């Protein structure tokens, strides 16, 4: 499948929606999530925004948001199917999401990282943000991998099954480093039929 390219029109639309609508922060704080696909990170973020605990005018780093707002992706999902559309637009969406993130950081915007942070590059990104003077408030959304798989299989958006288990393994190795790095670190158990807990370090 040929490399997909986001049109200038779509890029401008997404930049306006996600970056230009975000406002500068009074203090340098990153609200960072971590967790496997299907753990409920985005739902958690939205609840925190609605409750006023996360800033409503923050830039949200989430490649899925970029992809779901791409006219090209939406059209391909209808014609090619969710899996082929995902594979075609995952990398361009991730690239644009990170480009906007770095602009948001440069412009001093409020930032919410609504991602799994289950890759070493995410760890290095948070280290760089800390060195740049940001305070990091991190939340680990805990969820059993099999439960997460049930959730993602009910979505319209495609997520590779092996990604869930691979991210779970990597995240297990990164959690101790995140606990040491973050100014505050919380764990929220989002697995059904278990009591919700929040542990603040």
Q: What is the mean pLDDT of residues 107-134?
A: 93
Interacting residues of 160 by C-beta distance below 8 A, sequence separation 6+? none
Element (DSSP H or E) covering residue 117: none
Q: What is the pLDDT of residue 24?
A: 80
pTM for this structure? 0.87
C-alpha distances out from residue 143 to 26, 131, 135, 171, 188, Å: 33, 30, 26, 12, 9
pLDDT of residue 200: 39
Burial class (CB in 10 A: 0-12, 13-18, 19+), 88: buried
**Beta carbons within 8 Å of 58's beta carbon, 6+ residues apart:** 22, 25, 31, 49, 109, 110, 111, 112
Domains of the chain: which residue ranges? 13-200
The mean per-residue pLDDT over the stretch 134-162 comes to: 85
Contact status, residue 27 vs residue 133, Cβ threshold 8 Å:
no
190/185 Cα distance (integer angstroms): 16
- For 38: left if phi > 0, alpha if psi spans -120 to 50, otherwise beta; the answer is left
Please report the pLDDT score of residue 3 as a whole number.
Answer: 65
Q: Which pLDDT value is given to residue 1?
A: 55
Answer for the pair 92, 4: CB distance below 8 angstroms, yes or no: yes
Best CA proximity match to 37, nearest among 147, 123, 193, 173: 147
Average pLDDT over residues 149-154: 81
The fold for domain 13-200 equals Rossmann fold (3.40.50)
Of 2-6, 10-14, 69-73, least confident by mean pLDDT is 2-6
The predicted-structure confidence for 24-36, as pLDDT tens digits, reads as follows 877 889 999 999 9
Residue 129 confidence (pLDDT)? 92
Count of positions (residues) in the chain: 201
Give per-residue pLDDT as tens, 171-185: 999 999 999 999 999
Q: Residue 2's pLDDT band (boundaries 50, 70, 90)?
A: low
Q: What is the pLDDT of residue 161?
A: 76
Whole-number pLDDT of residue 196: 43
């Amino acid at each position: 499948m040929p490399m997909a390219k986001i049109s200038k029109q779509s890029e401008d639309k997404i930049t306006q929606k996600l970056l230009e609508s975000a406002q500068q922060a009074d203090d340098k704080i990153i609200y960072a999530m971590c967790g496997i696909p299907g753990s409920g990170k985005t739902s958690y973020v939205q609840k925190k925004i609605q409750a006023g605990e996360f800033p409503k005018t923050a830039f949200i780093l989430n490649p899925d948001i970029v992809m779901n707002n791409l006219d090209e992706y939406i059209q391909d999902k209808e014609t090619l199917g969710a899996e082929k559309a995902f594979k075609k637009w995952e990398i361009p969406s991730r690239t644009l999401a990170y480009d906007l993130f770095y602009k948001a950081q440069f412009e001093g915007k409020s930032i919410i990282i609504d991602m799994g942070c289950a890759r070493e590059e995410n760890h290095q990104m948070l280290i760089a943000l800390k060195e740049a003077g940001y305070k990091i408030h991190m939340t680990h959304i805990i969820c059993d991998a099999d439960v997460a798989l049930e959730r993602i299989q009910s979505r319209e958006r495609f997520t590779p099954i092996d990604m869930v288990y691979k991210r779970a393994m990597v995240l297990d190795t990164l959690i101790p480093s995140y606990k040491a790095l973050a100014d505050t670190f919380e764990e929220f158990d989002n697995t059904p039929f278990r009591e919700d807990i929040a542990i603040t370090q």
